[in-house]
Amino acid sequence: MKEKLKTVLLVLLVTSSLVQSYFLMYRLPGSDSVAKTATNYIKTDDMGPEERAENLIYPDKMVIHMGGDKHTIFYPHSTFYDLIFSRLQARSFDSFQRRSIQNIDISELRAQNDGIELTFASGVPVTLLERVMQIQPDALFQAEQIDRIWIYNVKNETKAHALFFSTEGDVVYEAGKADLTAQDVQQHVDFGKEWTAYTSIKGSYYIPESDIDMVEAEFEIGVYDTEQMQRSLFVDPSITRNIREKDGSEIYTDSKRSLQVRQEQKWMSYTDPAALPAGESSAGSDVLAAIDFVNQHGGWNGDYRLSVVGDGEPENKVVFQQYYGAYPVLDTPQFQYGVMTLNLQQGTVSSYQRSLIYSESGVASKKVKKLQGGDKLRARLKDVEKISVIVDVYPAYQPSLTKNGIRLTPVWAVRLQNGTVTVLK
């Protein structure tokens, strides 16, 4: 009987030892046996869906030129914008020829020719445009970043013309072959005839001649906690230590990477200065690497558009702008919310900033608000022009925290020559 008890006890001890060995090998944080991705990242929390590059690259606005110095504007996700852009995406552009912008009368083109102008703010690499439009590869053209595409008609010609403007400023590429007829362009232009009239100001920006309607919305929100962010960003969250800063922010670090969380702003900043560069890169490949990083480290908590691709040294800056409906949500010094910002070194993310706020399902309240247009808007812009040159004026949402969530208030955003964006008071 004693021998049987000894045997049972021995089996239990051996089994217990095997179970403990299993957990030590496969369960303890930091074990090399845990399955990892190529970037040493263990995927845990999903904070939003993954996104494809093709859904993040689109123009910030579509200007419709109707001749006689008449214009209107369609903004992203609006009916006519989506219809026209989807049709243009189905057309091909080929045989690009480099031209000097000095040889093109932009003022005449804007005022007299029927056409469609797509703008991309700070510019998009051609290699990324090829993902959303049927642009045939061209060695010289592919090295450029494009901030405008202008498709227009010339009187008594049956074929449409297509110009692609480089961010370099003095260079434009014309598609020798564009799969568009003058009739195609005219049909798209006609969509704007009954829309709000806009006036070109000094050839730089446009203002509506009447007030425009927008929706002020209020949402219930949730906040990603620091544990979620640590699980998403650190290989082994269990070895991070916490440092409290004098300004109230908290820093979590594993001695290599750091995560700074500002609770009042509900904003996080992650840095990985020890990230090993993957090799040579380009602005286009860095954008794709940034999208992959967000996909792997939590996902996207709303609609975003590629806003900035900074071709700098030694880092490339990539910014994704959040949208509500047709208009962008501003990121302001008072309340950082509407953007995701990543810096990359040779294709590897070295820093990542985003809001910790996400909207819960459903809208708590909505009401229509009017943004002033016409002479009232001109008068308000005069004060800004005394300080700096205005390069763009557009409708946007200014976010603010409320007791129950977040409010998006319609405002006029003004982009200045130095690149800063201010809210029109």
Instruction: Name all contacts of 255-259 with Cβ < 8 Å and 24+ positions apart.
Output: 257/233, 259/226, 259/229, 259/230, 259/233, 259/234
What is the C-alpha separation between 21 and 275, in angstroms, rounded?
32
pLDDT number for residue 42: 39
Q: Does domain 221-359 have CATH number 1.10.357.10?
A: no
Residues of the chain with pLDDT under 50: 1-44
On whether the CB atoms of residues 166 and 133 are closer than 8 A, the answer is: no
Say how far apart CA 216 and CA 220 lie, in whole Å. Answer: 14
Q: Domain boundaries in the chain?
A: 60-211, 213-217+362-423, 221-359
Please report the pLDDT score of residue 303 as a whole number. 94
The span from the CA of 184 to the CA of 357, in Å, is: 43
- How many Cβ atoms sit within 10 Å of the Cβ of residue 408? 26
- For 33-48, the pLDDT digits (tens) are 222 333 333 344 567 8
The pLDDT, as a whole number, for residue 28 is 27
What integer pLDDT is reported at residue 247 of this predicted model? 72
The answer to whether the beta carbons of residues 218 and 404 sit under 8 Å apart is yes
- pLDDT for 232 equals 84
Q: 107 φ, ψ to 5°?
A: -60, -45
Look-up of token digits 């957990």: 23
Retrieve residue 54's tokens.
């093709």
- Which residues face 61 on adjacent strands? 119
* pLDDT, position 422: 93
Q: What is the 3-state secondary structure (H, E, C) of 118-146?
A: EEEEEEEEHHHHHHHCEECCCCCHHHCEE
List, in sequence order, the alpha helices (H) in 69-225: 79-89, 106-112, 126-132, 182-190
What is the reported pLDDT for 246? 63
Q: How far is residue 234 from each of residues 46, 159, 347, 348, 395, measured CA to CA in Å?
A: 15, 55, 19, 15, 38
**Stated pTM of the model:** 0.86
